[in-house]
Each structure stands twice: as structure tokens, then as C-alpha cells.
Amino acid sequence: MQGKIKELRQILNKKKANALFLHWKDPNHKWVLGEKLEDSFILVRSTGKPLLFISPLESFKSKKFQVVIIGKDLKKKISSYNIKRLAVNNSFFTLKHKEFFGKASFVDVSKDLLKIRSVKDESEIRKIRKACSYTVKCFNELIRAWKKKQFKHELDVVRFIKRFALDNDLGLAFEPIVASGKNACTPHHSKHTELNKGFCVVDFGFEYKGYNSDMTRTVFIGKPSKEQRDLYELVRSVQESCVEMIEPGVLGRDLNDSAVKKLGDKARFFVHSLGHGIGVEVHEKPSVSGSSEEFLVEGMVLTVEPGVYTPKKRVGIRVEDTILVSRKGFVNLTRSASKELYRFLVLGK
């Protein structure tokens, strides 16, 4: 945590601010505190212990924060810190919060916060690794169960993933996406139906101690044609070749452009960016899109997820891994989940 406070104070120095305000609904609050604490806010000053203001209904002890109980004299307490210029994240700073600080001036540091969060420390990487290991384990168990049970409905697969999360005391990174047949043509499909023959996209991740994973695998229900097998292999090979390109100094835009080039005439069916950073939020910096100007740095964690979606042919394919940028290249944190095109999942219709 001390490393994070040091980085935040560098922002304060750069912006000539006395303190930084973080509301509990702001992901940066959880990033600093290390956990979610409702009805609280953090005040990181340029010197001294960071202040953690908490509700009288909560109990929180910390050697790293000076804990202050929120009461009727809150405004008076805050004014005693003599804050003249306050750094804030405009997306989570309301008029009510503004009233706390009287005549202080305000400077938005939202972009600065996203930038420092994009590079993870060892503790953060351990948590993401753990979230990814659970994701791989869930997928492997899902495939084994699918072989035996022959799920009938997309919701059967969603419920399996959710049960796994509950059994392992995990949060969901996002609502699992299970999209079969024509549904797979919609990248963020959510209106579940019975499982349809054809490709089935399974996209999910877990939250472990505040940090997330994200992985997609595509399986096949029924017997794929040669054309379908070839298309799947194209997407898989493009995904793997883009992962192989990852190392410090690579431009996010170049990764995306490489995927587009390698998809060839199928690139027109690639309707989203190649990937995104992941951490306390599922989508954060760095950007891996056609307009990204961000260079990869050791310690960044990102996804690589090319896809092809052709509604006329009722085809949707996506393959995604969570990748750590390492000193010499990359580490695929979800590598152990097979990318085989499982094609034994027949409904018997």
C-alpha cells in the first residue's frame, strides 16, 4: 500500500494539490484500501497518514490509515486540515462532496489514476493469478460436467459457473456470457435460450480479493463442417500470434492492427477491439484498440480476444486469455484452459 500512496503523492506534487479525495464507489478507493468499504472515503494528504473516514456503523482498524468516524461535525473536521487545492476523480465527485471542502479549488486527476493503476505490483499480480487459476479450474470442470450432463440450456452453463463461484467464495468479474448458435453472433449476448447447434461462446471471469480475471473459450455443439473448423483455427491462431507479440514497448494499436491484418477478409466481422487492461475493474488501462497510443510496460495485465461474428451464417467465435506483461515478454495466466474445439457436445435433437 505504501507504494501506492507514494505514487498518489507524486500526482499531488505534479498537480500542486494538498490532498486527494476518493469516494468508496470509486474503483480507486478499493485499489488504495485493498478492499471495498461502503459509506467511506479516503483523503490522501501530501504528508502524514492517509485518512479513512468511515460510518459509525462500520468497524475498521488499520495501522496504515488514520481512521476517522463520520459524524455531524464532518465539515468542521475536514476544514481543520486546511486543504486549499483538492485532487479528485470527477466521475465520483458530487456537489455534496464539494460542500465538505468549502472554498478549496479542485483538479481532476482521473487520467493520472488510471495510468498508475495500469501497472500492477507483485501483490496485485498474485491476486490476478489466483483469479485466473480459478477460472481455468472452473472451465476444466465445466467441460467434464458438460460431457456427462449434456446441458440443455445456456442458463445451465451460467448456473454451473455461478455455483463454482459460490463454492469457492469468489465474486463474479461480470455476468457470464454463454451464447450458442445465432446467439454467438452477439458479443455480449444476455437473453438466454436453449442451447443451439453451432459455435458456443463461453466468456467469464472471477473476482478474487478485489482483482479480476477474464477468459473466453468457444466450443461446438454438434458436428462442425470443414469451413467452420477452419474459421475457428484462424481465430485461434490469430489470438495466439498476437499473444506472442506481447512484450514491454509494444504499442497497443500495433497489436490490434496485427489481428486485423491476420484475419484477412474475415476482419470485417471483427467488431470490437483486441483487448483491454484488467485489475480492480474488468475494463481499465491499457487500451488495446486501433486508436491506442499506449505502450505496454512490465507489470501490465491485459486481455487478448479476437473474434469473428457473421450473423448471416449464424457464426460467432471468440478466444480470450488474460496476459501479464513480463520483463522479457509475457505470461499467459489462463494458458491451462484448453483451446481445443470440443465437438462432442451434442444435444441429440
Q: Where are the domains of the chain?
A: 2-117, 122-332
The Cα 207–Cα 279 span in angstroms is 9
Q: Write down the pLDDT at residue 344.
A: 52
The Cα 269–Cα 29 span in angstroms is 38
Average pLDDT over residues 58-87: 88
- 76 near 89, Cβ under 8 Å? no
Q: Model confidence over 121-156: pLDDT tens digits?
A: 999 999 999 999 999 999 999 999 998 877 899 999
- Please state, rounded to an integer, the average pLDDT across all residues of the chain: 94
Average pLDDT over residues 75-98: 92
**b/e string for 267-302 if b means 16 or more Cβ within 10 A?**
eebbeebbbbbbbbbbebbbbbbeebebebeebbbb
Secondary structure (DSSP) of 79-116:
HTT--SEEEE-GGG--HHHHHHTTT-EEEE-HHHHHHH
Q: What's the distance, CA 163 to chain centroid?
A: 21
Average pLDDT over residues 298-311: 97
The Cα 248–Cα 159 span in angstroms is 38
Where residue 180 falls among pLDDT bands split at 50, 70, 90? very high
- Strand 301-304 relative to strand 284-288: parallel, antiparallel, unpaired? unpaired
CATH architecture of 122-332: Alpha-Beta Complex (3.90)
- 345 near 145, Cβ under 8 Å? no
- Taking each helix axis as running N to C, give the angle between helix 154-167 and helix 122-149, from 0 to 180 degrees, rounded to the nearest 10: 130
Average pLDDT over residues 95-116: 94
8-state DSSP, 337: S
CATH 3.40.350.10 given to domain 2-117: yes
Domains 2-117 and 122-332 equal at CATH topology level: no
Q: In this structure, what C-alpha cell is assigned to residue 196?
A: 443451439
- 83 has pLDDT over 90: yes
Share of the chain above pLDDT 70, in %: 98
Give the contacts of 227 (CB within 8 A, at least 6 positions apart).
none
Q: What separation in angstroms does the CA of 304 have from each of 135, 138, 294? A: 16, 20, 15
Q: In this structure, what C-alpha cell is assigned to residue 125?
A: 499480480
Q: Model confidence over 231-284: pLDDT tens digits?
A: 999 999 999 999 999 999 999 999 999 999 999 999 999 999 999 999 999 999
- 262 near 238, Cβ under 8 Å? yes
The Cα 347–Cα 165 span in angstroms is 26
Average pLDDT over residues 179-208: 96
Where residue 349 falls among pLDDT bands split at 50, 70, 90? very low
- 202 has pLDDT over 70: yes
